[in-house]
């Protein structure tokens, strides 16, 4: 069975989407509509901006979404039986399985990005990548720290990102190294994504989601919060909202997709990050880029 997977923040690069834009008129029209929906020329930033321009959350997230949906259109969906997305990528996955239109998806992604940036500005905080330690040990040590620090991204075995108050994240990094972590690296982000500190953003996103039409899924989506197949639009909404303050359980999601029959994973969007993670989760499956 074939699964489509969609990347999240961090996969952006200068020039992203230009080849897709030039490839077909229908893709060009789709991408140009994004400028009108967002109210600014995001394509000029995607095609010719600086790295710093692209790193702004309110630019990064819509850019990756636009690229991913354009790539999906370029390959006509590839006839997949299931979809999943890493954090932000879940919105692209919901366009792929018919739950969201491109326009509605982009509006939600933009609102999500603005809400997350506002939460970061109001409460500067941190994230760190922990390498070479069991998930259970990371969870145990985070629970012992005074202050807010939680597992945020279960990327693959031996790679877990933690998120929370800067002092708590720094203390956790020290203790995790003492416990045997190969590395504990503070990430260059000024915010604690997928932690309780995203509560204000969650409330803002929830209001936008409740005003948006969600359709029944044509194929199941394996959402970050539940890690299992979901098709009901009301449940999909709840899981999208919960995702902002809850962890991205990518390892567990991929494992469930494989258990349910996935043998071929195709990454749709910029970069190859998810292909690398999936091979570390299960080296027996096939991975490829859509374009």
Cα dihedral sign for 172, 173, 178, 179? positive
Q: Is 163 a catalytic residue?
A: no
Catalytic residue among 87, 92, 110, 126: 87
**How would you classify residue 261: left for phi > 0, otherwise alpha for psi between -120 and 50, otherwise beta?**
left
CA distance 224 to 253: 7
Which one, of 161, 237, 228, 145, lies nearest residue 194 by Cα?
161
Compute the C-alpha angle 156/162/168, nearest 5°: 160
**Cβ-proximal residues to 236 (8 Å cutoff; 6+ apart), any chain:** 94, 99, 214, 217, 221, 223, 230
Q: Is 194 a catalytic residue?
A: yes
- Compute CA 63 distance to the chain's CA centroid, rounded to the nearest angstrom: 12
Catalytic residue among 68, 110, 125, 194: 194
Buried b (16+ CB within 10 A) or exposed e, 6-40: bbbbbbbeeebbeebbeeeeebeebbeebeebbee
Q: Tell me the catalytic residues.
A: 87, 194
């Amino acid at each position: 069975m074939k699964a489509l997977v969609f990347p999240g923040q961090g996969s952006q690069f200068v020039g992203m989407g230009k080849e897709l834009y030039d490839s077909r008129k229908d893709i060009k029209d789709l991408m140009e509509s994004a400028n009108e929906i967002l109210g600014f020329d995001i394509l000029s930033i995607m095609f010719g901006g600086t790295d710093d321009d692209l790193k702004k959350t309110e630019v990064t997230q819509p850019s990756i979404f636009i690229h991913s949906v354009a790539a999906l259109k370029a390959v006509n969906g590839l006839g997949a039986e299931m979809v999943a997305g890493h954090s932000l990528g879940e919105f692209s996955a919901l366009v792929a399985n018919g739950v969201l239109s491109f326009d509605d998806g982009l509006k939600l992604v933009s609102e999500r990005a603005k809400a997350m940036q506002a939460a970061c500005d109001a409460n500067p905080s941190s994230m760190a990548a922990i390498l070479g330690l069991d998930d259970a040990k990371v969870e145990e040590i985070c629970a012992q720290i005074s202050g807010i620090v939680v597992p945020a991204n279960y990327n693959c075995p031996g790679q877990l990102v933690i998120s929370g108050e800067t002092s708590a994240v720094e203390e956790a990094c020290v203790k995790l190294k003492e416990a045997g972590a190969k590395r504990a690296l503070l990430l260059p982000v000024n915010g604690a994504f997928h932690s309780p500190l995203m509560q204000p953003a969650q409330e803002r996103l929830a209001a936008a989601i409740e005003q948006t039409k969600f359709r029944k899924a044509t194929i199941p989506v394996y959402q970050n919060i539940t890690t299992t197949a979901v098709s009901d639009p009301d449940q999909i909404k709840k899981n999208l909202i919960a995702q902002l303050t809850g962890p991205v359980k990518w390892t567990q999601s991929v494992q469930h997709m494989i258990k349910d029959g996935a043998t071929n994973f195709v990454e749709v969007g910029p970069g190859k990050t998810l292909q690398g993670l999936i091979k570390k989760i299960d080296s027996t499956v096939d991975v490829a880029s859509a374009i």
